[in-house]
A and B are shown apart, each in its own frame.
Chain A
Amino acid sequence: SQKIEQNSEALNIQEGKTATLTCNYTNYSPAYLQWYRQDPGRGPVFLLLIRENEKEKRKERLKVTFDTTLKQSLFHITASQPADSATYLCALQTGGFKTIFGAGTRLFVKA
């Protein structure tokens, strides 16, 4: 069966350090892998999208990698700040709109 896993339920890091979040999937061939941020009681906010033929994408302090052989994506936040504290969701999407979200990783950045 198709499965998507985010390895850490919660991640605590010190301000200024790099946070690295992991997303693994099985039995799935996504066209896109996306990362979203969700704050309590709010809808997810899109951060980055990476296509199946891309290895890496960057946006400001964010970087995502995509390894379709390992079936894994890594999401990095460099120079983390307390304002980065939130739940981060990875999502796989086929070209036909079907979207599956991982359970999320709650990131806590301590000042």
Chain B
Amino acid sequence: DTEVTQTPKHLVMGMTNKKSLKCEQHMGHRAMYWYKQKAKKPPELMFVYSYEKLSINESVPSRFSPECPNSSLLNLHLHALQPEDSALYLCASSQGGGVAQGGEQFFGPGTRLTVL
């Protein structure tokens, strides 16, 4: 199974809502990533987990809260978002760990988020 799945596909939320994005992979990868992608722009790295520990936080506002409950799952909790946070949120995984850190990333299809 070489697939990264993301749910939901689309999400519309108000600025006072709390919601979560979910990502799952069963490739045995030990690194998982969250990216944000605005229209006609490249993906921007937000967070990286390695062996379920937060490895990178690219100065993301605290209204985004990542969680890695186990090696296959990655969540992104959303609270009090702003309209400018509307974007495609992509999850990715890579083999990760030791000398194999980084490397090819497998991306999910993304969650299209609209904040009203």
Interface residues, chain A, with chain B CB atoms under 8 Å away: 31-32, 34, 36, 41-46, 49, 89, 93-104
Chain A residues with CB under 8 A of B90: 43-44
**B96 CB to nearest A CB, Å:** 7
Closest chain B residue to A94 by CB distance?
B102
Interface residues of B (CB under 8 A from A): 4, 31, 33, 41-45, 48, 50, 55-56, 88, 90, 92, 94, 96, 101-110, 112
Residues of B within 8 A of A93 (CB): 102-103
Taking a contact as CB atoms under 8 Å apart, the answer to whether A103 and B41 are in contact is: yes
Contact across chains for A101 and B101 when beta carbons are under 8 A apart: no
Best-buried of A44, A46, A93, A96 by chain B (most CB within 10 Å): A44
Contact of B103 among A43, A49, A100, A103 (CB under 8 A): A49
- CB-based contact B42/A31 at 8 Å: no
- What residues on B are CB-neighbors of A95 within 8 Å? 101-102
